[in-house]
C-alpha cells in the first residue's frame, strides 16, 4: 500500500463530482488515481492544476493561457482577487513540489502527500466556484426565457395573419391545376428528348469512372505525388488511457508515410492548428465532412481517419482512406492486437496504407524492409510520455517538455525520437552540452530512421555542430517533403537572420505567416512576429514593422517580446513618448514573467545598442553591472560594448581582465579581450586569443556568425601585415 493511499481515497471521493462535467480534468484525475508511481502521481497532479488554471485564465481573466508559466497566472488570479489567498497558497505549493515528478533529481516520496492534499483542497474550492458561476448564469437564462415567451405571443399573432393569406393562395393553386392539364400533352412529346439528354449527361459524368485505369491518377499533385492529411484517431474504448493515442497514431502514421518519396504528407502542426481554430478539441466531432474541409484547406488529395476500439483484451484499430473532394472511401483497414503491442499495430497499418497508396499505383509490391519503424521504442509507456512531451513543446513549454522526454528515456534509453526532441529542448534553454549529448545519441542511428526524421536529425546536428549553411540545406529538404509547414519557413528565416542576411530572412518569415493565414490560424508563438519585426527594423522598413506589431498585439496581447520590440521600434524612429511607455510596460511584463532586474536591464541595453542609442545603452549596461558588480558576465557585457563601439577601449580591457581572472577559459571573455587587442593594433596577440575563443566556442556552444566575422577580419589583417 502506498504511503499516500489515504490522500488518493479522498480524491476518489471527489471524482464522481468531476466525472462527465469537466472532461479534461476527469481525464487527468483518473490517470492520477490509477497509477502507483510517485513520479507519475506528481506529473498528473500538476496537469490537474494546469487544467484548472487554464479554465480560470479563460473564464475569469478573459484571455487564453498560451505559454505563460503557471506561477504568473496564479499570481494574477491572486492580484485580481479571483482566488482566495489560502487556495493560492495550495496552488503554489502543488506547483513547486510537482515539478519533481518530471525531473531527474531525487525527492522524498513523503512529498507526494502534501501535493495530493493541496490538490484536494483546490478541487473542492474549484467545484464550489463553478457551482456558484452556474447559479448566476441560470438566473440570466431564466430572464432571457421570459423575454422569449413574450416574443412567442407576438409570433402567434403573425401566424394567424399568415393563415388568412394561405386561403387566398389555395384559390390561385386551383386555377394553376387547370393550366397544368394543357401542358401534359406537350410534355409527352418532349419526354423522349428529355430521356436522351439525361442519358448523355450521365455518360459524361460516368465516363471518367468507367474508363479511368488508375483511380489515384487524378489525386496526384502538380509534382506527381499524392498529398495526404492524417486526422487524429477517435478513442472509442471508453478508457481514457487511450486518449493519448488519438494523436499518437496520427503522429506515428505521419512519420512513417513521410518516408515515401511518392507521398506528400501534411504535418501534425498544420492539422492541429486548423482543428483548434475551429474549436474541434473533441476528436469525436471530426466527421468525414469536417475532415474533408480541413484536408482541402491543406491541399491534401486524400485523408485518413480512424478509431481505436477494444473487444475484451483485443485492441482494434480501424482506418479509412478517403477522397478529400468526394468523401469517397477508397479503402478500409482493420488491425487487431493486444495493448502491449500497439506500436506493432501502427507499423502494420503504415505498411498497409503505403501498399495501397503506392503499390496499387505502381502495380508491384514492396518488401516490409522498405518501411522503417516510426517509433524506435517498443514501450507504450515510453511512447505515451513522448507524446505528452510533444504537446508541452508545441505549447512553448520547453522546460516542461524536456523533463517529460527524460521520463520517456528513463523507461527506454534507446528511444531515438525522444533523444532528438530532448536535444532541441536543451538547445532552447542554452544548455548546449546536454543538447549535443542527446543529439549525438540520435545522430549515430540516423541511417535506420524514416526519411523525415533522418533529415530532421541532420538538421539539428548541423545546428549544434556545423553551422547555418548546412542547417539551411536540410531545412530545404524538409520543405520539399511538406511545403505547407510554417515552422520550416520560420526556421529558415531564423537561420538567415543569424547569418545577417535579413532580406532572405524576411522572405521566409513572411511566407511562414502567409501559410498561417492560408490555414486560418494564428502563428505558433510571438517570435514569428518578433523576429520578422527585427529584420524589418534592421533593413529600415519601419512602417512594415509598425503594422506587423499592431497585428501581433491582437494575437499575443501583453507579450513581453512584442512589447520589447515596440520599444526599440519607437526608439529607432525617435518617438520618445511611446518608447518610454513601451519601456515601462516591458519592465513590468519582464518582472511578471520572472526576469530579474539585472537581466532585464542588460537586455534593454543590448536593444538600445542595436538601434544606435549608444548613450542610453551604456547607461543600462552600467546599471546592470552595478546591480551585480561581482558577476563576470556583467563585466564582459559592458567591456564588449565599450570596445566594439570604441567608446572606452582601455576601460573595456580592464573590465574583461577582471572577468577572465574569475573564468579564464570562458570563450566569450577571450573573444572580448582579443577584439580589444585588435582595436589597440596588437594584431598577433588578438589573433591568438580570438582563435582560441573560436575553438572553445565550437566545442562548448554553437556557431555564431558575428564572432566568425571578427575572426576572419583579424586573420586578414594579420596576413596583410605579414605580406608587407
Taking only the tens place, the pLDDT of each residue in 515-549 is 999 888 888 788 999 999 999 999 999 999 999 99
Q: Is 239's pLDDT higher than 50?
A: yes
pLDDT value at residue 358: 60
Contacts of residue 468, defined as CB under 8 A and 6 or more positions apart, other chains included, come to: 462, 495, 496, 498, 499, 703, 705
Pair 272, 394: CB distance under 8 Å = yes
CB 297 within 8 A of CB 288: no
Where in the sequence of the chain do the CATH 1.20.120 domains occur?
Answer: 5-135
DSSP state of 647: S
Query: Model confidence over 306-332: pLDDT tens digits?
Result: 999 888 888 889 898 888 888 888 788
Residue reference for cell 492560408: 518
Tell me the pLDDT of the chain averaged across its residues.
82
Per-residue pLDDT averaged across 72-88, rounded? 88
| pLDDT for the residue numbered 719 | 93
> Which H helix or E strand runs over 310?
strand 302-311
Q: Within the chain, which residue ranges are assigned CATH 3.40.50.10610?
A: 223-374
**Confidence category of residue 553, pLDDT binned at 50, 70, 90:** very high
CA distances from 382 to 40, 348, 389 (A): 12, 20, 11
Cα separation, 565 vs 579, whole angstroms: 10
Over pLDDT 90: what percentage of the chain? 41
pLDDT of residue 459: 94
Name the one residue in this structure whose C-alpha cell is 551585480: 628
Cell of 485: 509547414
Rounded average pLDDT over 493-504 = 96
| Residue 562 pLDDT | 96
Q: How far apart are CA 718 and CA 712, in angstroms?
A: 10
The superfamily (CATH) of domain 378-431 is Tetratricopeptide repeat domain (1.25.40.10)
Q: What is the pLDDT of residue 483?
A: 87
Evaluate if residue 638 carries a pLDDT over 90.
yes
**If 0-12 CB within 10 Å is exposed, 13-18 middle and 19+ buried, where does residue 106 land?**
exposed
Compute the half-sphere exposure of residue 171: CA atoms within 13 Å on the CB side of its CA.
Answer: 4
38, pLDDT greater than 50: yes
Mean pLDDT for the stretch of residues 124-137: 79
Cell numbers for 163, please give them: 393563415
Alpha helices in 520-596 (DSSP H): 527-538, 542-555, 560-572, 576-592
Spatial separation of the C-alpha atoms in residues 207 and 186, rounded to whole Å: 32
Closest CA to 595 of 624, 570, 566, 567: 624
Pairwise pLDDT comparison (124 vs 105), residue with the higher score: 124
pLDDT of 46 = 86
CA-to-CA separations, 670 to 359, 667, 683, 686, 691, in angstroms, rounded = 59, 5, 14, 10, 9
Q: Each residue of 574-629: pLDDT tens digit?
A: 999 999 999 999 999 999 888 899 999 999 999 999 999 999 999 999 999 999 99
Count CA within 13 A, CB hemisphere, residue 142.
6
Task: Give 371 or 41, the one with higher predicted confidence.
Answer: 41
**Which is more confidently placed, 475 or 328?**
475
612, β-bridge pairs: none
Query: Pick the residue with more confidence: 369 or 415?
Result: 415
Band of pLDDT at residue 192, cut at 50, 70 and 90: very low
Closest CA to 533 of 499, 491, 582, 570: 570
Q: Is the pLDDT of residue 253 over 80?
A: yes
CB-CB contact of 468 with 499 (8 Å) = yes
Give the model's confidence band at 151: pLDDT under 50 very low, under 70 low, under 90 confident, else very high: very low
Residue 481 pLDDT > 50: yes
Lowest mean pLDDT among 325-329, 564-568, 686-690, 716-720: 325-329
Q: How confident is the model at residue 335, as a pLDDT?
A: 86
- On whether the 445-523 domain is CATH 3.40.50.700, my answer is no
Q: From start to end of 209-362, where are the E strands?
A: 226-230, 234-235, 263-265, 302-311, 314-323, 329-338
Alpha-carbon distance of 263 to 321, in angstroms, equals: 14
Q: CA dist 694 to 429, 656, 667, 697, Å?
A: 21, 17, 7, 5
Return the pLDDT at 401: 82
Q: Determine contact, residues 235/309, Cβ cutoff 8 Å.
A: no
305 DSSP β-pair partners? 320
> pTM of whole model > 0.95?
no
- Record: fold of 223-374: Rossmann fold (3.40.50)
Contacts of 654 (CB under 8 A, 6+ apart): none
Stretch 361-383: mean pLDDT: 47
The secondary structure element, H or E, covering residue 234 is strand 234-235
CATH 1.25.40.10 residue ranges for the chain? 378-431, 445-523
The three grid cell numbers given for residue 615, joined into one nine-digit string: 548613450
Please report where in the chains the cell 479563460 appears, as a residue: 58
Residue 383's pLDDT is 73
pLDDT score, position 597: 93
CB burial readout 506-517, b (16+ within 10 A) else e:
bbbbbbbbebbe
According to DSSP, the β-strands at 302-311 and 263-265 are: unpaired
Separation of alpha carbons 588 and 608, rounded Å: 18
Cβ neighbours of residue 408 closer than 8 Å, sequence gap 6 or more: 377, 382, 383, 385, 386, 389, 415, 418
What would the CATH number be for the domain defined by 5-135? 1.20.120
Q: What is the pLDDT of residue 488?
A: 93
Amino acid at each position: 500500500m502506498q504511503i499516500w493511499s489515504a490522500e488518493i481515497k479522498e480524491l476518489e471521493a471527489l471524482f464522481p463530482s468531476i466525472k462527465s462535467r469537466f472532461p479534461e480534468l476527469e481525464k487527468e484525475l483518473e490517470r492520477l488515481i490509477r497509477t502507483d508511481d510517485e513520479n507519475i502521481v506528481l506529473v498528473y497532479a500538476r496537469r490537474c492544476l494546469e487544467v484548472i488554471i487554464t479554465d480560470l485564465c479563460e473564464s475569469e481573466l478573459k484571455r487564453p493561457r498560451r505559454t505563460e508559466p503557471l506561477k504568473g497566472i496564479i499570481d494574477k488570479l491572486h492580484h485580481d482577487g479571483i482566488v482566495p489567498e489560502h487556495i493560492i497558497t495550495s496552488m503554489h505549493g502543488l506547483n513547486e513540489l510537482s515539478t519533481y515528478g518530471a525531473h531527474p533529481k531525487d525527492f522524498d516520496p513523503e512529498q507526494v502527500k502534501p501535493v495530493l492534499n493541496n490538490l484536494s483542497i483546490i478541487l473542492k474550492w474549484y467545484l464550489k466556484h463553478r457551482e456558484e458561476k452556474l447559479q448566476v448564469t441560470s438566473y440570466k437564462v431564466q430572464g432571457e426565457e421570459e423575454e422569449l415567451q413574450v416574443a412567442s405571443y407576438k409570433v402567434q399573432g403573425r401566424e394567424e395573419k399568415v393563415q388568412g393569406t394561405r386561403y387566398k393562395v389555395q384559390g390561385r393553386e386551383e386555377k394553376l391545376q387547370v393550366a397544368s392539364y394543357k401542358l401534359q400533352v406537350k410534355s409527352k412529346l418532349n419526354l423522349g428528348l428529355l430521356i436522351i439528354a439525361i442519358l448523355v449527361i450521365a455518360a459524361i459524368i460516368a465516363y471518367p469512372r468507367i474508363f479511368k485505369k488508375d483511380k489515384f491518377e487524378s489525386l496526384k499533385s502538380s509534382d506527381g505525388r499524392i498529398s495526404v492529411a492524417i486526422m487524429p484517431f477517435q478513442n472509442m474504448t471508453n478508457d481514457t488511457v487511450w486518449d493519448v493515442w488519438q494523436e499518437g497514431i496520427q503522429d506515428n502514421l505521419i512519420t512513417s508515410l513521410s518516408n515515401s518519396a511518392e507521398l506528400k504528407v501534411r504535418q501534425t502542426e498544420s492539422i492541429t492548428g486548423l482543428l483548434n481554430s475551429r474549436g474541434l478539441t473533441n476528436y469525436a466531432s471530426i466527421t468525414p465532412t469536417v475532415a474533408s474541409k480541413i484536408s482541402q484547406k491543406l491541399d491534401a488529395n486524400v485523408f485518413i481517419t480512424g478509431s481505436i476500439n477494444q473487444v475484451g483484451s483485443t485492441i482494434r484499430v480501424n482506418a479509412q482512406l478517403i477522397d478529400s473532394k468526394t468523401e469517397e472511401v477508397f479503402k478500409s483497414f482493420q488491425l487487431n492486437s493486444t495493448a502491449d503491442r500497439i506500436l506493432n499495430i501502427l507499423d502494420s497499418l503504415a505498411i498497409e496504407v503505403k501498399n495501397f497508396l503506392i503499390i496499387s499505383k505502381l502495380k508491384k509490391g514492396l518488401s516490409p524492409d522498405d518501411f522503417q519503424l516510426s517509433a524506435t521504442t517498443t514501450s507504450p509507456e515510453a511512447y505515451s510520455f513522448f507524446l505528452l512531451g510533444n504537446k508541452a513543446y508545441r505549447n512553448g513549454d520547453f522546460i516542461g517538455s524536456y523533463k517529460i522526454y527524460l521520463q520517456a528515456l528513463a523507461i527506454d534509453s534507446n528511444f531515438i525520437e525522444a533523444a532528438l526532441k530532448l536535444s532541441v529542448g536543451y538547445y532552447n534553454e542554452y544548455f548546449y552540452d546536454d543538447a549535443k549529448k542527446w543529439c549525438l545519441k540520435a545522430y549515430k542511428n540516423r541511417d535506420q530512421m524514416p526519411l523525415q526524421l533522418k533529415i530532421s536529425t541532420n538538421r539539428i546536428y548541423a545546428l549544434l555542430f556545423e553551422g547555418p549553411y548546412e542547417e539551411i540545406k536540410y531545412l530545404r529538404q524538409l520543405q520539399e517533403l511538406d511545403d505547407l509547414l510554417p515552422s520550416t519557413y520560420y526556421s529558415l528565416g531564423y537561420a538567415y537572420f543569424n547569418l545577417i542576411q535579413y532580406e532572405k530572412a524576411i522572405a521566409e518569415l513572411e511566407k511562414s505567416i502567409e501559410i498561417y493565414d492560408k490555414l486560418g490560424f494564428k502563428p505558433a508563438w510571438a517570435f514569428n512576429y518578433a523576429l520578422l519585426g527585427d529584420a524589418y527594423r534592421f533593413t529600415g522598413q519601419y512602417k512594415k514593422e509598425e503594422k506587423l506589431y499592431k497585428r501581433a498585439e491582437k494575437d499575443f496581447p501583453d507579450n513581453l517580446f512584442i512589447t520589447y520590440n515596440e520599444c526599440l521600434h519607437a526608439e529607432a524612429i525617435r518617438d520618445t513618448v511611446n518608447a518610454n511607455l513601451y519601456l515601462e510596460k516591458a519592465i513590468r511584463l519582464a518582472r511578471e514573467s520572472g526576469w530579474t532586474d539585472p537581466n532585464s536591464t542588460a537586455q534593454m541595453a543590448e536593444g538600445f545598442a542595436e538601434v544606435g542609442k549608444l548613450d542610453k545603452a551604456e547607461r543600462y549596461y552600467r546599471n546592470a553591472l552595478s546591480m551585480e558588480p561581482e558577476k563576470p558576465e556583467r563585466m564582459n557585457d559592458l567591456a564588449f560594448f565599450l570596445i566594439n563601439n570604441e567608446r572606452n577601449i582601455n576601460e573595456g580591457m580592464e573590465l574583461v581582465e577582471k572577468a577572465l581572472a574569475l573564468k579564464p577559459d570562458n570563450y566569450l571573455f577571450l573573444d572580448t579581450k582579443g577584439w580589444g587587442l585588435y582595436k589597440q593594433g596588437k594584431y598577433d596577440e588578438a589573433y591568438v586569443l580570438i582563435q582560441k575563443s573560436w575553438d572553445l566556442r565550437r566545442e562548448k556552444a554553437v556557431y555564431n556568425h558575428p564572432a566568425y566575422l571578427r575572426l576572419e577580419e583579424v586573420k586578414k589583417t594579420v596576413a596583410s601585415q605579414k605580406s608587407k
